[in-house]
Amino acid sequence: MYRIGQFARVAGVSRKTLRFYDEIGLLRPAATDTHTRYRYYAPAQLSELATITALKELGMSLDEVKAIARRTSSRSNRRAMLGTVRARLERSLAQTSASLAAIDAAIARAEVADVALPVVVKRRPSVLVASLGEHVTGYDVMSAERELLGRVPVVSRGDLRGVLWHRCADEGTPLGEPFVELRSGRRADSKLDVTELPAVTAACAYSTDDYDAAEQAYVAIRTWMRDRRCALAGPKRELYRDGMLEIQFPIVVGDGNS
């Protein structure tokens, strides 16, 4: 029989680890002195501990190790558990390599060194909006917006206000459609188009409300999407927030089930 220190040295783990495994019932010492409470381990427990360590290395949590190491766990249970762990590892691998690619891209163009124009992904819920129902060229967007606002009373408006870009400058004449959120239940002028902006996951960036800054934000999102081989999934959205601009590119996204 080994006392805790020697067993720890021989097994290559820390004493604290052994006490912890005892505490959570994962590896109980073969004997415990009832008076001194010293833990005594049998040589055969080296292989028990090796099982625990090996399963932990495969990426299992101690709870999972406990479950799989029980005598009562069936072969099919164990196989299922391996599948679960495998799936988790794969997700983590994808995540890590995506981060690695992103950081390499950032290093390559020395971009994040200036912490410039961060892009973030957000899930946006669907929203009820009113618009004029027509797509106008870039130069007419501001007047169209004024007209729209003139037709929707302030009490009916929600917080969101902006432009949907159905076609961007890089594809020819830009075509935009100003919109305002409608407070739920409010009806608008019957000549207005009332539609539901669909829920999307979008890559977003922020800028001040001037042309050059916005252009930089657009470039940042495009670069971000190129780095991640990410496809556009709908018209871009430009939102006005009190002097700030938020630019959203809806993106295609896995549903997490694959």
Partner DNA sequence: GCAACTGTGACGTAGCGTAAGTGTGT
Partner DNA sequence: TACACACTTACGCTACGTCACAGTTG
**Given the rule CB under 8 A, which residues bind a second copy?**
6, 10-12, 43-44, 46-47, 50-51, 53-55, 57-59, 68-69, 75, 78-79, 82-83, 85-86, 89-90, 92-93, 96-97, 99-100, 102-104, 106-107, 110, 112-115, 118-120, 122-124, 159, 204-207, 241-244, 246
Distance, in Å, from the CA atom of 89 to the CA atom of 75, rounded to the nearest integer, reads 21
Residue 16's binding partner out of DNA, a second copy, none, with CB under 5 to 8 Å set by partner kind: DNA
Task: Indicate whether 4 belongs to the interface with DNA (CB under 7 A).
Answer: yes
Strand boundaries in the chain, DSSP class E: 2-3, 31-32, 39-41, 120-124, 127-131, 136-137, 157-167, 175-182, 193-197, 200-208, 236-241, 244-250
Q: Judged by CB, which is closer to a second copy: 62, or 69?
A: 69
Size of the site for DNA (CB under 7 A): 20
Task: Indicate whether 153 belongs to the interface with DNA (CB under 7 A).
Answer: no
Residue 204's binding partner out of DNA, a second copy, none, with CB under 5 to 8 Å set by partner kind: a second copy
Task: Indicate whether 156 belongs to the interface with DNA (CB under 7 A).
Answer: no
Q: How far is the CB of 140 from DNA (least distance, A)?
A: 36
Record the tokens describing residue 53, joined without a space. Answer: 């360590």
Label residues 154-187 b or e (16+ Cβ within 10 Å = b): eebbeebbbbbbebbeeeeebbbbbbbbbeeebe
Q: Are residues 27 and 21 in contact, defined by beta-carbon separation less than 8 angstroms? A: yes
